[in-house]
Structure 1
C-alpha cells in the first residue's frame, strides 16, 4: 500500500550531525513532521521550518505513520523501541518503523520480531555518507527487512539517499553496515599514512591528493576526509566515539562468526588511543593527529 504524502505523518527521533539534515529533506518534500531529540535546541531550525515538537517518544509514536530513528548507541535504540514508554508500546498497528542508527544485527532482529507481534512493520536501515551525504541527500542506505515493507517506504528513503538497497531479512542492513565500517577502518589508516608520508617527504599533501585520488588509491575517505586532514579541520562529519562503537560491534560479530579481522583490530586500537587523548568528539579524520604526535 502506497503512503500518501498529504496524509502521512513522519516522526523523526535523533537530530544530531546527520539526523537534522535528513529530517529537513522530509520537510522540504512536503511531509508533516513530528520530531523528538534529547536536546530541544537541536530541533529549533526544523521547528522554524514547520516541524512539530513532541515532548516524549511515546507522544511522537502515537501520532506518526512512519517513524525514523537516528540515535547514538545500541542501548539508545533498545530503550527507544522496547521500553514501556517507547515506540513499539505506543505506535498504532500498521506503523512503519525504520531504525537508521548503526546498531547490532541481533538488536535489529529483536526489534523486528517485537514489532511483528504488534502488527508494526520494522526495517533496519543504517546509512553511510557522513554529514556531507546527509546534507546533500545522497546517503547510501543499507536495508534489512521484508520486501513489501521496503517497497512501501522506499519513496521516503529516496528523499534522503541515492544508493538504497534491500540486503535481506531483518539484521541484514546492519550486517552490511559492518562491512562498510570494516572497509573504512583500514582505509582510514592508509589515508592518514599517505598524508603523513607526503608531509615528511617535503611534498604538498594537497597537490599529492590531486594525483592519487583519481587513480587506484581513490576512495570516499581520500576525497572527502583527506582535505580536512590537510586543513587541520577536525569538526565531526562522523564522531570518533561513534566509529569506535561501530568497530566494536563489527569486531564482536566477526569473532562470533569465527573470522579474523586484523585490520579492524588495529584501526580500533588506534582510535581508542585517540579517545584517551580526548578526541572522542572529533571527526574520524582527526586520526591524523596520532601520526603527527609520533
Structure 2
C-alpha cells in the first residue's frame, strides 16, 4: 500500500483535545477522513469540513486503509479494537481490511499494544503503537514527538501521516516499544512538573516577579516545555486542560506497574502519582497537569 491523498482513506477514532487537531492536519492535507467518537458534537468541525461520520469503530475500519485511534484509557482502547461487552463484531479488528494499518496513538499498556499487533497480523493487517508527547500545543502545531513500536514496513508505509502530525518521529522497536518509550517520557515529566510547581511556589513566597524569573531561567538549564509552557500557565492562573490530570494519573499508573514488573522502585514517580491523586480528590481531576501548582503553592 502506498499512502497518498488520492488513494488512502484515513479513519480517526477519538477527536478530543488532541485528536481533533491531529485529524485536522490529515484532512487539511487532502486525505479523505472518516471519524467516530463518543460525542458527535466534538467531530462537528471535521464533519463540516467534509469528514465522513461513522456510528462505530467497526464500520469506520471497514471503509478505511489506515485507522488511527486516540482515546482515553487502556479499557477504551480494548473496547475500540476488540469490541464492547465481549462482542468482537463491534471492534475495529473485526473489519480491519487485509493490508490495512491500525495506529493506536493513545498512551496505553505495552502488553495491550502487543495483543493488538498480533490480532491485526492474523487478519493480514498491521498495527503500530504510537503514543505522542507535546500536549495540546504540539497537536495544534503539528510538532508532536511520536514514539512508534511495531513492524518496520508498516511504519514506513504510514510515515507520511506521522509527518503531518509530528516533528520528531521514530520507530523504537517491536510492538509495545512505543508505549514503553512513552512511559519513559511520563516518568521524566512526573518529576519535572513537580519541580516547576515547587520552584514557582518558592518564587511566589519570596516575593519575586515570576514573569521575570521565567524569562531568565527559561533560557538556562531549567528550560523546557514543562517550565516555559506549563510554568507560564501556572503564573498566569491558566489551569485549563491541555492534558488532563486524570489522564496523567492513568499514565503514571501504567508506568508504575511496568516499573514494578521490571524490578524497579521509582520513588519520584510514586510521589508524583500520590500528589496528583490528592489533587484530583480535591477537585483537580479535570484540570491540566499545571493545576498541581494550586495545591503546592497553598501548602
TM range (shorter): over 0.9
1:241 maps to which of 241, 246, 249: 246
**1:102-251 alignment to 2 at 5 Å?**
102-251=107-256
Q: Deviations over 1:34-71 (max 9, x none)?
A: 00000000011111111111111111011010000000
Greater mean deviation of Cα atoms: 77-86 or 98-107: 77-86
> Partner of 1:42 in structure 2?
42
Decide whether the 8 Å contact of 2:3 with 2:157 is kept in 1.
yes
Tell me the distance in 2 between the aligned counterparts of 1:111 and 1:104.
Answer: 11
**Does 1:281 find its partner at 2:278?**
no
Count of aligned positions: 294
Query: How many angstroms does 1:111 deviate by?
Result: 0.5
CA distance in 2, matches of 1:19, 1:155: 17
Q: 2:5 maps to which residue?
A: 5
Deviation at 1:292, TM superposition (A): 2.4
TM-score after normalising by structure 1: 0.99
**1:7, distance to aligned residue in structure 2 (A):** 1.3
- TM value normalised by structure 2: 0.97
5+ residue gaps, structure 2: none
Residue 63 of structure 2 is aligned to residue 63 of structure 1: yes
The secondary structure found in structure 2 opposite 1:91 is coil
Which whole-Å CA distance do the structure 2 matches of 1:197 and 1:275 have between them? 22
- 1:263 pairs, out of 247, 264, 268, with 268
Distance (Å, rounded) in 1 between the aligned partners of 2:56 and 2:273: 35
Give the superposition deviation at 1:120.
1.1
Cα-to-partner distance string for 1:254-279 (whole Å, 9 max, x where unaligned) = 00000121110000000000110111
> 2: CA distance between counterparts of 1:183 and 1:169?
22
Q: Distance in 2 between matches of 1:176 and 1:92?
A: 28
Between the aligned partners of 2:199 and 2:136, the Cα distance in structure 1 is 23
CA distance in 2, matches of 1:242, 1:216: 28
Residues 1:254 and 2:259 are matched in the alignment: yes
Tell me, in whole angstroms, the C-alpha distance in 2 between the residues paired with 1:152 and 1:73: 27
Distance of 1:102 and 1:41 partners within structure 2: 24
Segments of 4+ in structure 1 off by > 6 A?
none
1:31 aligns with 2:36: no
